[in-house]
């Protein structure tokens, strides 16, 4: 006679009842689905934030280019429309500052696109330029050059 008996090879042993096994399987599937859904939400949020920051940069750059254009068109002397042009440049810089503030409000300090020192320097340049216009000192070439230098340096910082 043959004493051969079928013996199951040792392998994965199941624990618990069939109901417990099904509940565990359902829990694992739900956990996997939750991880996939949360990953998709995170990726979508990160992409949205990147697009938002890019829009802020572009708006700041647009105002910066306009301000540089306005300063470039100004002459070295005091003209009748100098204060109007200076006001337009001030509006562009103020707009850049406000966009920067919104970016900081949305993303925290990591959302700062323009250093505060740059904004302060630009407003100080504008104040000196305005004082030179009001006193009609004649030649404002130095103030114009300094303002243009600070604006182009800011353009380099933004990097667009």
pLDDT at 79 over 80: no
Asked if the structure places residue 145 within a domain, the reply is: yes
Asked if the structure places residue 81 within a domain, the reply is: yes
Instruction: List, for residues 15-61, the tens digit of each pLDDT value.
Output: 778 888 889 899 999 999 999 999 999 999 999 989 999 999 999 99
25 CA to centre of own chain: 43
pLDDT-derived band at 78 (thresholds 50, 70, 90) equals low
Which pLDDT score is estimated for 134? 81
pLDDT at 160 over 70: no
Cα separation, 6 vs 9, in Å, equals 9
Q: Let me know if 102 is exposed, middle or buried by CB neighbors in 10 A (0-12, 13-18, 19+).
A: middle
Which pLDDT score is estimated for 135? 81
pLDDT at 66 over 70: yes
Cα separation, 129 vs 146, in Å, equals 10
Q: ∠ CA(129), CA(134), CA(135), 5° rounding? A: 100
Residue 115, φ and ψ in degrees, nearest 5: -65, 145
- Which of 100-104, 109-113, 135-139 has the highest mean predicted lDDT (pLDDT)? 100-104
pLDDT at 137 over 80: no
Asked if the structure places residue 29 within a domain, the reply is: no
Asked if the structure places residue 27 within a domain, the reply is: no
Which pLDDT score is estimated for 68? 92
Asked if the structure places residue 146 within a domain, the reply is: yes
Question: Considering the chain, what is the average pLDDT of its residues?
Answer: 86
Asked if the structure places residue 134 within a domain, the reply is: yes
Asked if the structure places residue 24 within a domain, the reply is: no
Asked if the structure places residue 135 within a domain, the reply is: yes
Which pLDDT score is estimated for 62? 94
pTM given for the model: 0.73
Number of domains in the chain: 1
Domain that holds residue 127: 52-158
CA distances 157 to 19, 57, 64, 88, 113, Å, are 63, 11, 12, 22, 9
Which pLDDT score is estimated for 73? 85
CATH code: domain of residue 150: 1.20.120
pLDDT-derived band at 3 (thresholds 50, 70, 90) equals low
Cα separation, 119 vs 150, in Å, equals 9
């Amino acid at each position: 006679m043959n004493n051969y008996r079928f013996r199951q090879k040792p392998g994965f042993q199941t624990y618990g009842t069939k109901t417990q096994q099904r509940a565990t399987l359902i829990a694992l599937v739900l956990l996997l689905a939750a991880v996939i859904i949360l990953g998709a939400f995170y990726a979508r949020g990160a992409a949205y934030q990147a697009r938002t920051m890019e829009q802020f940069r572009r708006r700041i750059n647009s105002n910066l280019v306009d301000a540089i254009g306005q300063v470039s068109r100004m002459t070295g002397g005091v003209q009748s429309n100098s204060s109007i042009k200076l006001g337009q440049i001030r509006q562009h810089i103020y707009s850049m500052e406000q966009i920067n503030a919104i970016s900081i409000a949305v993303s925290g300090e990591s959302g700062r696109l323009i250093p505060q020192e740059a904004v302060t320097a630009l407003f100080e340049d504008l104040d000196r330029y305005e004082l030179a216009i009001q006193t009609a000192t004649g030649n404002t070439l130095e103030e114009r050059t300094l303002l243009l230098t600070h604006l182009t340096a800011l353009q380099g910082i933004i990097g667009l």
